[in-house]
């Protein structure tokens, strides 16, 4: 626990000082609401697609959402055992995947990707990569040599955020023995899992990896569970630190600095050395900082060549959803809150970008609530008509929107 806190301190203190100078990395401000701006000034158009509601395709909460090249929708619901496939018009088509322990089956479906007509299923616990066609035909499967916490496809390679066991190094054992001889307290060991970012090929062979013992890597990009985001089809990876700051990392620049790994099996993950570096004063300063920072959850991200969108819920003084629109060209963030604009909730559950529009969803119940508050403007024309056909317990409503510029 102590090592984790120290790790966060380093990510905040050193990252804030040096990150802006690092080639291939940008800092994105994602909180402190823009007081004079309106979300309507940034939205060019909005379209909604209600999903068909039948007993065979009921969806309570969307865990993952992807849009196929043919315009159809692939949805993994929270607690779901299959992926629900809907047409571009929201009509239910079929379900894909199979839970089990046999060939082509997964024990737990945590993530999936779309590549043309092929669906890639990932079972993190069993370390299986399963491929099926969109008609659910089984193609094949692979056993992964490393765990998979998050994955991003960049051309014909993949960046994988992984957990690996920590092993003690001979040098550190010697240091501890020497300290014990002098009557000093030996260094605390962190026996927990370590986090790594690996570059792998299409067969999941590890080509390069980032050694977390590298102080530059630790100072500039914070590692941590649930703080790594990878947007499919893009050239960027994202790290979020505990000061609600996003680091946008160019994948090409990242690959150029990675460590070459000729033989993955020969690598011994290094022990943490942070306890030797940071003082109690630094920990105290970090704890004071955290009392005034809103900790986000239910985070969603999407990116286009012009914008990065970051939506999250904050349970601080005002319970509200927030949306950050980061303009890459101007390097400026525009931040909005549903506490001020209730219908902002139409846009905060953003999942992706299809080349022209950002897309996400809103529950039928929430859609009916926010539509009642929409201004009577051409931008939202037609949304109230769609609401007349919905009930609160219907399937979610897909939302597609374009930004100006």
Tell me the per-residue pLDDT of 287-305, one tens digit each, with 9 for 90 and over: 454 444 456 677 888 888 8
For residues 253-270, one letter each, b for 16 or more C-beta atoms within 10 angstroms of the residue's C-beta and e for the rest, the string is ebeeebeebeeeeebebb
Tell me, what CATH number does 300's domain have?
2.120.10.30
| Number of structural domains the chain divides into | 1
3-state secondary structure of 35: coil
The pLDDT score that the predictor gives to residue 329 is: 87
Contacts by 212-216, CB closer than 8 A, 24 or more apart: 212/269, 212/270, 212/272, 213/270, 213/273, 214/259
The pLDDT score that the predictor gives to residue 232 is: 65
Average pLDDT, stretch 73-95? Answer: 91
Question: Across all residues in the chain, what is the average pLDDT?
Answer: 74
Residue 314 pLDDT > 60: yes
Locus of tokens 């955020």: 161
- For residues 221 and 377, the model is more confident at 377
Quote the domain boundaries for residue 62: 2-403
The Cα–Cα gap between 377 and 34 comes to 22
Q: How far lies 281's CA from each of 13, 81, 259, 287, in Å?
A: 12, 48, 33, 10
Percent of all residues in the chain with a pLDDT value above 90, rounded to a whole number: 29
Whether 68 and 134 have beta carbons less than 8 Å apart is answered as yes
- For residue range 144-171, list pLDDT tens digits in order: 877 777 787 777 778 887 766 543 333 4
The Cα–Cα gap between 113 and 109 comes to 12
The Cα–Cα gap between 230 and 374 comes to 33
Token duo for residue 186: 């030996």
Average pLDDT, stretch 94-104? Answer: 91
Token duo for residue 339: 């506490």
Please give the order of strands across the beta sheet that includes 397-403.
43-50, 397-403, 358-362, 350-353
Residue 225 pLDDT > 50: no
Backbone torsions φ then ψ of 234, nearest 5 degrees: -100, 180
Q: Who's near 128: CB < 8 A, 6+ residues apart?
A: 106, 121, 122, 141, 142, 143, 144
- For residue range 322-353, list pLDDT tens digits in order: 899 989 888 888 989 898 899 999 999 999 99
Residue 60 pLDDT > 60: yes
**0.85 exceeded by the pTM?**
no
The Cα–Cα gap between 357 and 109 comes to 27
Please name which of 293, 291, 397, 279 lies closest in space to residue 347, comparing C-alpha atoms.
Answer: 397
Average pLDDT, stretch 46-71? Answer: 91
The Cα–Cα gap between 278 and 270 comes to 18
DSSP state of 90: S
Token duo for residue 121: 């299923």
């Amino acid at each position: 626990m102590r090592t984790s806190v120290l790790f966060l301190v380093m990510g905040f203190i050193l990252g804030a000082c040096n990150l802006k100078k690092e080639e291939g990395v940008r800092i994105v401000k994602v909180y402190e609401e823009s007081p004079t701006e309106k979300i309507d000034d940034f939205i060019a158009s909005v379209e909604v697609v209600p999903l068909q509601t039948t007993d065979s395709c009921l969806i309570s909460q969307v865990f993952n959402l992807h849009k196929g090249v043919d315009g159809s929708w692939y949805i993994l619901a929270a607690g779901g055992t299959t992926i629900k496939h809907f047409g571009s018009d929201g009509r239910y088509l079929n379900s894909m995947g199979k839970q089990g322990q046999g060939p082509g089956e997964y024990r737990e479906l945590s993530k999936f990707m779309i590549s043309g007509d092929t669906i890639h299923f990932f079972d993190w616990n069993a370390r299986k990569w399963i491929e099926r066609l969109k008609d659910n035909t089984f193609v094949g499967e692979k056993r992964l040599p490393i765990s998979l916490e998050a994955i991003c496809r960049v051309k014909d390679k993949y960046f994988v955020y992984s957990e690996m066991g920590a092993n003690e190094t001979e040098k550190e054992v010697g240091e501890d023995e020497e300290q014990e001889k002098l009557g000093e307290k030996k260094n605390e060991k962190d026996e927990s899992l370590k986090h790594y970012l690996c570059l792998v090929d299409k067969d999941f062979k590890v080509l390069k990896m980032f050694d977390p013992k590298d102080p530059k890597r630790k100072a500039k990009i914070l590692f941590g569970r649930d703080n790594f985001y990878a947007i499919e089809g893009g050239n960027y990876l994202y790290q979020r630190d505990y000061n609600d700051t996003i680091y946008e990392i160019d994948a090409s620049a990242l690959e150029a600095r990675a460590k070459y790994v000729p033989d993955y099996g020969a690598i011994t993950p290094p022990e943490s050395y942070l306890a030797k570096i940071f003082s109690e004063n630094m920990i105290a300063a970090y704890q004071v900082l955290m009392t005034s920072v809103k900790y986000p959850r239910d985070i969603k991200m999407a990116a286009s060549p012009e914008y990065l969108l970051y939506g999250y819920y904050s349970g601080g003084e005002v319970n509200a959803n927030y949306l950050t629109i980061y303009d890459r060209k101007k390097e400026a963030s525009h931040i909005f809150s549903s506490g001020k604009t209730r219908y902002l909730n139409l846009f905060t559950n953003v999942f992706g970008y299809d080349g022209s529009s950002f897309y996400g969803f809103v529950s039928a119940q929430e859609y009916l609530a926010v539509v009642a508050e929409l201004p009577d403007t051409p931008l939202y024309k037609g949304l109230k008509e769609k609401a007349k056909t919905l009930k609160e317990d219907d399937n979610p409503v897909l939302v597609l929107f374009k930004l100006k510029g």
